[in-house]
Chain A
């Protein structure tokens, strides 16, 4: 008797559940983003050229907007005073900033876009994850707004913001990769320690290898940190980027196991095999300690990283090492090849569910489209503007005491101008990076030869993404 009642009851539950799930697709299609929708009130906003001093007379946006970003970016906005300037020009717009770590943004923002509710009016997104979120959908088509800026920003920055020739993001900063080095360690190793001399010594990765060997022999310092068992492929990605390579190519074919990619990882492997690297994982306490170490405590001698790294070094990782650092050009794969890559960089996106897109765009354009704001934020943060007009500002030629009075910013600018278009980031970046990172770990710990490891990763990526 009980059994039968139970069965009946289960039947009812099932019936209701089936009805509910049958409703689901229609419910979700209501959430589906009208991605092709052009933003409505574009004329007013985009006709205001960034260079004119006079604010636009026509109806100004008003109301409250919410902004998601991480701490370093928030600090850049606060410390530079750009928000106060914005307030002067747009007194009716109230900006609320919510701080999330980047990894939190990449979980919360997609969930909010998928749910159709809960997203902010603006969110900061790193370029590494931008294409994936653009492909997900649910963002405002900003094409009409950003068109005047297409030629003004670093060209390669637009690749991740674009989907089917429409643009869904406005770039903030770029991550030109340079070669940070410890002058004191280079001197102790009897190597040239001026930027030109160092640039010449590390003209290729092979030259870099010889420099590292000398440093290890003379001082016992590891050349750079590159963890073996938990490697997540960041340095490898920069090496791919400088060659215009990546995880796929312009035709959309997976190139993870291409001869060029294999050769690149072989180059990196030589450093591990010769024990020239430190095994501290990036962004952990051990890594900070080795970057901040005194000359005789075997500090890390070099660091191939983007321009924003300089700000982190002097700000909180190694403020005690002022005057001991220098900036040179990163090594090239072969003599005469490009000595520039990109790592990171970020952009603003405006979720489609925002109720105040005009105000959101007004803030975006004010911050990233204007030379004054970009320069002010750059002074406060060292986030190199993607806006190229900003580079002529005198602040770019100022010497920096942290780098022994070297004027490092012209180097950043020289590099960012020649960063090639590469295929590292993209809609499948987290997945591709995950498989390749595992391959690198296998190679670095000596378990698998380079070609086999990358072949396995490439096959997995092809199977999972359906790309050829």
Chain B
């Protein structure tokens, strides 16, 4: 398509081509004007920072004073930065810890609440969604109080059943599991609503037909509902994947990245480098490397899941 256009245009001189282009733009000046606010803002707050941080990633800069060009030194340092790689590993671990459980729970709950037979389904939908709109600072603080090893409500309750106090926020896996609890609590409702929306686009005739043909309701669920839901599930999983590397407020307010950096994520590391240590160049390099890795991960997910969906 593009090639034929080039061939057609090739007999025109460059200036004529430009004039023609300009005439086209001029003809559509009003539409361009009306869509311009977005592009102007996008240029200033989107494109400019993205390119500027690409430049910064090759420099050392504190945000004040001269910008020192250092070439690829930041990336070299980054390859040896154990905290950064630990944060990437943490992202993967957190992903496997909570995404499957949360996705499954969200799907099951959505199916249950989609059936009109459940009494008070609107009430339950609301209750499940409320945590999502709760302030995560308040939630993190409350979780921290409840999960305190010695004085927390959770261990107190476990104590009734003679279960020894669990070091929720005082051990590597305890910290990760605590974080996952908070994340699932906060994001389950959101994912459930996505699933619910997906379910409602599936015509009920399909399931009914399957049931009439003698399928059990679990067969109908696994062989009719799930395949049709695949794009929605993919969407939800992709969001959660990026979410698990991007976790910030939840960590900042619950564990602060500890214990022993067990719950630190790339975004927290980048934030600390940029705004705690004033190393904007290094943080930019981190952000770029992190973006490339995440981009590759998402592509993989789309390729694997997306093809099956077709």
The one of A21, A110, A228, A442 in contact with B63, judged by C-beta atoms closer than 8 angstroms, is A110
Cα-based distance from A328 to B21 in the complex (angstroms): 84
Known contacts A110-B275, A464-B77; is-contact A230 B256 (Cβ 8 Å): yes
Known contacts A25-B67, A136-B63, A286-B150; is-contact A441 B260 (Cβ 8 Å): yes
Chain B proximity mask over A406-426: 1 for CB below 8 Å, otherwise 0: 000000000000000000000
The one of B2, B52, B260, B275 in contact with A447, judged by C-beta atoms closer than 8 angstroms, is B260
> B44: nearest residue on chain A (CB-CB)?
A20
Q: How large is the interface on A (under 10, 10 to 19, 20 to 34, 35 or more residues)?
A: 35 or more
Chain A proximity mask over B146-160: 1 for CB below 8 Å, otherwise 0: 001111000000000
Residue A88 interfacial (CB < 8 Å): no
> B53: nearest residue on chain A (CB-CB)?
A21
One of A36-44, A64-72, A368-376, A430-438 at the interface: A430-438
Dominant secondary structure at the A interface: helix
Residue A192 interfacial (CB < 8 Å): no
| B-facing residues in A201-249 (Cβ within 8 Å) | 227-230
> A33: nearest residue on chain B (CB-CB)?
B64
Residue A113 interfacial (CB < 8 Å): yes
Known contacts A1-B1, A17-B48, A228-B170; is-contact A280 B64 (Cβ 8 Å): no
Separation in Å of the A123 CB from the closest CB of chain B? Answer: 15
Cα-based distance from A230 to B148 in the complex (angstroms): 13
Separation in Å of the A310 CB from the closest CB of chain B? Answer: 25
Chain B proximity mask over A441-468: 1 for CB below 8 Å, otherwise 0: 1100101000000001000100110000
Separation in Å of the B228 CB from the closest CB of chain A? Answer: 31
What B residues does A25 contact at CB under 8 A? Answer: 67
Residue B230 interfacial (CB < 8 Å): no
Contact indicator B150/A32 (Cβ below 8 Å): no
Contact indicator B276/A430 (Cβ below 8 Å): yes
Separation in Å of the B138 CB from the closest CB of chain A? Answer: 15
What A residues does B52 contact at CB under 8 A? Answer: 20-21, 24
Separation in Å of the B150 CB from the closest CB of chain A? Answer: 6
Cα-based distance from A276 to B190 in the complex (angstroms): 46
Chain A proximity mask over B68-93: 1 for CB below 8 Å, otherwise 0: 00000000010011110000000000
Contact indicator A438/B171 (Cβ below 8 Å): no
Cα-based distance from A230 to B47 in the complex (angstroms): 39
Separation in Å of the A26 CB from the closest CB of chain B? Answer: 11
> A10: nearest residue on chain B (CB-CB)?
B47
Seen from chain B, the residues whose Cβ lies within 8 Å of a Cβ on chain A are 1-2, 5, 21, 39, 43, 47-48, 50-52, 55, 62-67, 77, 80-83, 144-145, 148-151, 167, 169-172, 175, 256, 258-261, 272, 275-278
10 pairs across A/B with beta carbons < 8 Å?
A1-B1, A17-B47, A21-B55, A113-B63, A113-B64, A114-B278, A229-B172, A279-B149, A431-B277, A445-B260
- With A16-B47, A430-B277, A442-B260 known, 14 other A-B pairs at CB within 8 A are A1-B1, A13-B43, A17-B43, A21-B51, A32-B65, A110-B275, A111-B63, A114-B278, A230-B170, A230-B259, A428-B277, A431-B276, A434-B276, A460-B82
